Amino acid sequence: MSVKVLLDTDIGTDIDDAVCLAYLLVHPDCDLLGITTVTGEAEKRAMLASAICRRAGRDIPIYPGAEHPLVIEQHQPRAQQAEALGSWDHQTRFPRGEAVAFMRETIRKHPGEVTLLSIAPLTNLGLLFSVDPDIPSLLKGLVMMCGLFHGPIPNYGPLEWNAIGDPHASAIVYRAPVKVHRSVGLDVTSRVSMRAEEFRRGFRSDLFAPIQDFANVWFREWPGTTFHDPLAAAAIFNPDVCGFTRGNVEIELGDQHAMGLTRWTEDPAGRHEVAFDVNPSAFFAHFRSIVQP
C-alpha cells in the first residue's frame, strides 16, 4: 500500500532536505502529492526542489510558502544552495500565496489518508491549522523532524532549529489534535551523520548529481552532514529504524532566551510520540536500499 505524503521543507540551507526529497521520490511506497517550501527565499527553495524532481523525471506540484515567521524575526533569510541552480533544469515560476490552500485542499480531498511530513520551521503548518482547524483531524498522521526531548547534546545545546525557527507556529502545531503526532528530534537524528568525503563517494547516482552540487555549497562551511530529515522520512516507511515513546510536548514561549524549547513529559496516555532511539546501521542500510537499489 502506498502512503500519500505532503512534504513541507526548507530545502536550500542544510543538504539533508534535498537528500530526504530524493528518498521520497524513489521510494516505491511513497505517493508524493506535493511539496511546499518555507522560510527565506521560499521561491528559490521551490526551484531547488524542482531541480531534483525533474532529475528524477517526476512532475510534483511545488508551492512556495511563508517566508517569515508569525511573530519573530526570520533566522534563515537565504537559500544558499540556490547559487548552484544554474547547472540544472528547474521550474522558475510557481503559484504565489497558494501553499496553505494547496495543503488544505489536498488533505480535504484525501481525508484520513495523508501523512504530512515537516522537515522545516513550522510556519506553513501553523497557518494551515489556524485557517482550517479541522485539518489536524483529517490527517492520517503528522511526522516532523523537530525538537530536542532528552536533554542538551554536545555542540547543539537545548534548542532545535525547526522548533525555534517559528516558536509560535510550533506551539500551534503541537497543540493540534492530530491522531498520530510523531516527532523525530535532534537528540536522535544527530546519531546518523556522515563526513563530506563519504557522502561524495557514496551517492553518485544520476539522481544525486544535482544534490552533490548543492552539497558542495553546504560543505564549504560544514565538514559533513547529518541525516536529520531522511531519518524522519524513513520512520514513516520503516518504523523499526527508531524507537518511540508517548507523552506530551509543550513549547516555551514565555522565556525570550528559550523560545521554542520543546518541553517533554513522558506519559503513556500522552498526545505525542517522540523518538528516543535509533539504529544507525539499520537506518543507513534501509536508506541505501531505497536510493541505490
Domain that holds residue 74: 3-291
In the block, residue with C-alpha cell 542500510: 285
d(CA 43, CA 62): 10
The letter for the amino acid at 47 is M
Point out which residues pair with 265 in neighbouring strands.
248
Supply the DSSP string of 5-65, one letter for each residue.
EEEEE-TTSSTHHHHHHHHHHH-TTEEEEEEEE-SSSHHHHHHHHHHHHHHTT----EEE-
Q: Calculate what percentage of the chain has a pLDDT beyond 90.
A: 96
Q: What is the CATH number of the domain that holds 110?
A: 3.90.245.10
Q: What angle do CA 113, 145, 112 make, to 5 degrees?
A: 10
Supply the DSSP string of 94-163, one letter for each residue.
--SS-HHHHHHHHHHHSTTTEEEEEES-SHHHHHHHHH-TTHHHH-SEEEEE----S--BTTTBT--HHH
| pLDDT tens digits, one per residue of 155-195 | 888 999 999 999 999 999 999 999 999 999 999 999 999 99
Cβ count within 10 A of residue 97 = 10
For 201, the grid coordinates are 563517494
Q: What is the structure's pLDDT at 155?
A: 81
Q: Looking at the predicted structure, is the pLDDT value of residue 293 above 80?
A: no
Q: What is the structure's pLDDT at 24?
A: 98
Phi, psi of 111 (to 5 degrees): -60, 130
Q: What is the structure's pLDDT at 152?
A: 84
Which residues have CB under 8 Å from 109's CB, separation 6+?
Answer: none
| pLDDT tens digits, one per residue of 38-48 | 999 999 999 99
The structural domain count of the chain equals: 1
Strand pairing report for 193-195 and 62-64: unpaired
Q: Looking at the predicted structure, is the pLDDT value of residue 151 above 90?
A: no
Q: What is the structure's pLDDT at 1?
A: 82
Strand pairing report for 3-9 and 181-184: unpaired
For 141, the grid coordinates are 498522521
Q: What is the structure's pLDDT at 265?
A: 97
Q: What is the structure's pLDDT at 175?
A: 98
Q: Looking at the predicted structure, is the pLDDT value of residue 107 above 90?
A: yes
| C-beta separation of 120 from 96 below 8 A | no
| pLDDT tens digits, one per residue of 47-105 | 999 999 999 999 999 999 999 999 999 999 999 999 999 999 999 999 999 999 999 99
- Measured between its terminal Cα atoms, the distance across the chain in Å is 19
DSSP state of 166: S
Strand pairing report for 262-266 and 242-251: antiparallel
Where helices occur in 203-279 by DSSP H, the ranges are: 208-219, 228-237
d(CA 202, CA 214): 15
